[in-house]
Amino acid sequence: MHAGTVGGAGHQQGIQRAIIDEGGFVRAYRTSRGRVSAKLRVAPCLLFADTYLMPTLRHQCLAALATADIDAKLAATHEALNATDVGADAALVATVALPGRPDRPLLVSPKDVPQRSLSTVPGRAALIHALAHIEFNAVNLALDIVWRFPLMPDDFYRQWVQVASEEATHFAMLRAHLQSLGVAYGDFPAHNGLWEMAAKTQCDLLARLALVPRTLEARGLDVSPAIRNKLLAVGDKAGAAILEVILRDEIRHVAIGNYWYRHACREQGLDPLTAYATLAERYNAPRLRGPFNREARLAAGFEQAEIDAL
């Protein structure tokens, strides 16, 4: 291992030198009070201005996002909840491809994801796999909004890392259910639609809030009850119970998206309804089709006029 000098924010924290291993990860660092072991390996993507910054909440989310190993990503996501310093003013730079993901599942076009009957175990497994993939993407999306957009209030970052942690729990529940059906995550192909919209909006926080949590993820509010009922109809009570948990949590997640979307609109002097229509057209967002779960959408902070405009 070798020591790399820590500058920038590191000096403000009294950090003098960081211990970097052969892979470029911070293993420990030294302050004026002595040597401290790092609780979380800091990935090479946390290089900024040729210095290693110590892991604030936003650093930890970037490190978790860059992690390809599923179990390590889930653990790092939960660990980020414990960060004491948000680091809202840090301009972070990713130097690795994002997001980190395992080699499987194979990513294909949505039209190439096969549809299977829920009356068979393989068919139910394919559905649960698709849901698990959505939740895995949701983990990455919540981590991404934390690290990518600086200068927001601390509550913004803490709420989204809480979302990321809950999405990680959803994924773990669905993965365990998959395993009970004799299938592993990655055994079926999946599509990348959620992350593609994140890539489109990577430089536009208002668009990200409008088109990811309020559009693509909010779609889950509409379809989850029907999926739950289909699972109950074929006797999959465990799967239906997981969908109940996800729907409950997703109402709160979408509400967070709505809150911060309206906050961003106020900051820019924009009408939320008009701005949404403009952003949906600019970024070619999918046009949602009914029926809509009006009760869940209202609970998640949508106004009646917004639901009527869908």
Share of the chain above pLDDT 70, in %: 83
Residue, of 115 and 153, whose pLDDT is higher: 153
For the residues 131-158, what does the mean pLDDT come to? Answer: 97
User: Do the Cβ atoms of 88 and 148 come closer than 8 Å?
Assistant: no
Rounded distance between C-alpha atoms, residue 107 and residue 127, angstroms: 16
Predicted confidence at residue 50, as pLDDT, reads 35
The 10s digit of each residue's pLDDT in 195-253 is: 999 999 999 999 999 999 999 999 999 999 999 999 999 999 999 999 999 999 999 99
Q: How far apart are CA 162 and CA 75, in angstroms?
A: 13
Here the tokens at position 80 are 């980020």
Q: Of 46-50, 73-77, 82-86, 224-228, which gets the smallest average pLDDT?
A: 46-50
221: left (phi over 0), alpha (psi -120 to 50) or beta: alpha
Q: How far apart are CA 138 and CA 178, in angstroms?
A: 18
The encoded tokens of residue 223 equal 């379809």
Left, alpha or beta for 149 (phi > 0: left; psi -120 to 50: alpha)? Answer: beta
- pLDDT per residue over 79-130, tens digit each? 999 999 999 998 888 888 899 999 999 999 888 888 888 889 999 999 999 9
Q: Find where tokens 């994140």 sit.
A: 198
Rounded Cα distance between 21 and 5, Å, is 13
Which residue matches tokens 């909010």? 218
Q: What is the model's pTM?
A: 0.84
Each residue of 8-22: pLDDT tens digit?
333 334 444 444 444
